[in-house]
């Protein structure tokens, strides 16, 4: 599925290397990972058998600080994908001005096929394989697709056993009871909100601020609440079951107060803000094509693609999901003069939030959620301003500007 992902990532990076006119030696250094750990894990199963899993950790570049990046558990994971994601993490941490490099890890597994006990043994086996290569000043993993705070807690515990010392700062994304940060669940949505708010300061033509949000999970629902509370008019939301549309605006607080534990929106409580009528039920595609000011893909990759891009009517796209706009669609959006605020910037609040968890653990502190969100806001404003000035200096679009700013910081630090 991800065949050629690293090669494609290198092609995109090549464009930036040219814009920045980087010398060949720097291009060579930035076009390959520092280190690849490629290994197999043998894990005892509940039925007494043993099963082998392919696993990886790629440390891409650490010129700005310890490698940082998630560990995903997915049946389609591959070394190619992990290398590409590790490169992208290098640029994301750089863009957020964090003292981190980039890395990524994965185990090729569908975790739904494992019992809790098997999942725990697999998570611990992964740490047994890599523990000498990670550490709070070396490489700091985090959750990613299909991994969560429980898995990070097991990993912290396993690391402590192997290293002979408890070090909470080796992993981020832990549970609150085990050194996690208050506010982390809101961090990505809050970061996206701040980026959009700053962007709109230069767009006085966008007055009504109508919004459609695809995806109402962790990222989409928190962002929706921040936007709603700030007076944006959210006219459509969706989840995997379909979309809801109400041109007068949807009361997000009401939806959130009854959103069930499975994260599915309760269609029956969706009324217009004036309480006059029930929201219309739409398909997910219909949501993407609404004539809104701001469209927010916050669910999956490749949602806006060459097949449907001609029907997009939004003025601004805030990419909260990773890779929701394909390269072909991006070219068309550029021609249509749609501003695309790229994922590396828009959802960078997630990794910035992880950085604040790491800082708290290192200093043995516990911050209030309000302080955490305030620091995150400052980080997002700083990153937005840096991208804006790079965009103006190089006369390029938001996506290129974000990557250029990120790669330039890393390149400047290379000897």
Binding site for ligand NAD (CB under 6 A): 188, 214-220, 238-240, 263, 284, 298-300, 320-322, 347, 350
Neighbours of 394 (CB within 10 A): 16
CB of 275 to ligand NAD, least distance (A): 25
Question: Residue 17 or residue 238: which is nearer to ligand NAD going by CB?
Answer: 238
CB of 179 to ligand NAD, least distance (A): 17
CB of 168 to ligand NAD, least distance (A): 19
CB of 16 to ligand NAD, least distance (A): 21
* Cα–Cα distance for residue pair 138/274, rounded to 1 Å: 54
What would the DSSP string read from start to end of 40-108?
Answer: EEEEE-TTS-EEEEEEEEEEEE-TTSSEEEEEEEETT--HHHHHHHHHHHHHHHHHTT-S--EEEEEEE
* Cα–Cα distance for residue pair 51/49, rounded to 1 Å: 7
Q: Is 179 left (phi over 0), alpha (psi -120 to 50) or beta?
A: left
Sign of CA dihedral 176, 180, 182, 186: negative
The residue number with the shortest CB distance to ligand NAD is 217
* Cα–Cα distance for residue pair 333/167, rounded to 1 Å: 46
CB of 263 to ligand NAD, least distance (A): 5
Q: Which of 226, 297, 216 is nearest to 263 (CA)?
A: 216
Question: Residue 320 or residue 400: which is nearer to ligand NAD going by CB?
Answer: 320
Q: Is 316 helix (H, G, I), strand (E, B) or coil?
A: strand
CB of 345 to ligand NAD, least distance (A): 11
Packing angle, helices 116-130 and 149-163, rounded to 10:
50
* Cα–Cα distance for residue pair 339/47, rounded to 1 Å: 54
Phi first, then psi, for residue 278 (nearest 5°) are -80, 150
- 210 bridge partner residues: 233
CB of 240 to ligand NAD, least distance (A): 4
Neighbours of 132 (CB within 10 A): 10
Q: Quick one: CA torsion of 274, 280, 286, 289, rounded to 10 degrees?
A: -20
Question: Residue 149 or residue 214: which is nearer to ligand NAD going by CB?
Answer: 214
Question: Residue 31 or residue 326: which is nearer to ligand NAD going by CB?
Answer: 326
Which of 68, 92, 104, 391 is labelled catalytic? 104
Q: Which of 15, 47, 50 is nearest to 31 (CA)?
A: 15
104 is catalytic: yes
What would the DSSP string read from start to end of 254-296?
Answer: HHHHH--TT----GGG-BBTTSSSBPEEE-HHHHHTS--SEEE
Task: Supply the residues annotated as catalytic.
Answer: 104
């Amino acid at each position: 599925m991800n065949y050629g992902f690293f090669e494609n990532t290198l092609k995109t990076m090549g464009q930036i290397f040219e814009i920045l006119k980087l010398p060949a030696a720097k291009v060579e250094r930035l076009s390959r990972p520092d280190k690849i750990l490629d290994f197999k894990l043998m894990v005892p199963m509940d039925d007494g058998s043993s099963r082998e899993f392919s696993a990886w950790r790629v440390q891409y570049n650490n010129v700005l600080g310890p490698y940082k990046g998630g560990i995903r558990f997915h049946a389609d994971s591959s070394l190619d994908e992990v290398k590409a994601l590790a490169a992208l993490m290098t640029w994301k941490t750089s863009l957020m001005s964090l003292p981190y490099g980039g890395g990524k890890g994965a185990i090729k597994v569908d975790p739904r096929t494992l019992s809790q006990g098997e999942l725990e043994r697999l998570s611990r086996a992964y740490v047994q394989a890599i523990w000498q290569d990670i550490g709070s000043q070396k490489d700091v993993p985090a959750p990613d697709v299909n991994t969560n705070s429980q898995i990070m807690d097991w990993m912290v515990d396993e690391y402590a056993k192997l290293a002979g010392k408890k070090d909470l700062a080796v992993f981020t994304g832990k549970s609150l009871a085990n050194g996690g940060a208050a506010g982390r669940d809101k961090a990505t949505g809050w970061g996206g909100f701040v980026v959009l708010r700053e962007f709109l300061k230069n767009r006085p033509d966008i007055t009504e601020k109508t919004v459609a949000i695809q995806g109402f999970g962790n990222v989409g629902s928190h962002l929706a609440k921040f936007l709603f509370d700030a007076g944006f008019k959210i006219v459509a939301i969706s989840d995997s079951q379909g979309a809801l549309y109400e041109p007068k605006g949807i009361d997000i607080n009401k939806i959130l107060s009854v959103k069930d534990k499975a994260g599915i929106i309760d269609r029956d409580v969706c009324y217009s803000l004036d309480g006059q009528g029930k929201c219309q039920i739409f398909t997910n595609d219909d949501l993407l094509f609404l004539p809104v000011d701001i469209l927010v893909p916050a669910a999956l990759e490749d949602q806006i693609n060459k097949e449907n891009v001609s029907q997009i009517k939004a003025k601004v796209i805030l990419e909260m999901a990773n890779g929701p706009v394909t390269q072909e669609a991006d070219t068309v959006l550029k021609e249509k003069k749609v501003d695309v605020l790229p994922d590396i910037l828009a959802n960078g609040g997630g990794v910035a939030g992880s950085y604040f968890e790491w800082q708290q653990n290192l200093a043995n502190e516990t911050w209030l959620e309000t302080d955490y969100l305030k620091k995150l806001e400052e980080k997002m404003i700083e990153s937005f301003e840096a991208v804006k000035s790079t965009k103006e200096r190089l006369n390029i679009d938001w996506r290129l500007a974000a990557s250029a700013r990120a790669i330039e910081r890393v390149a400047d630090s290379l000897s």
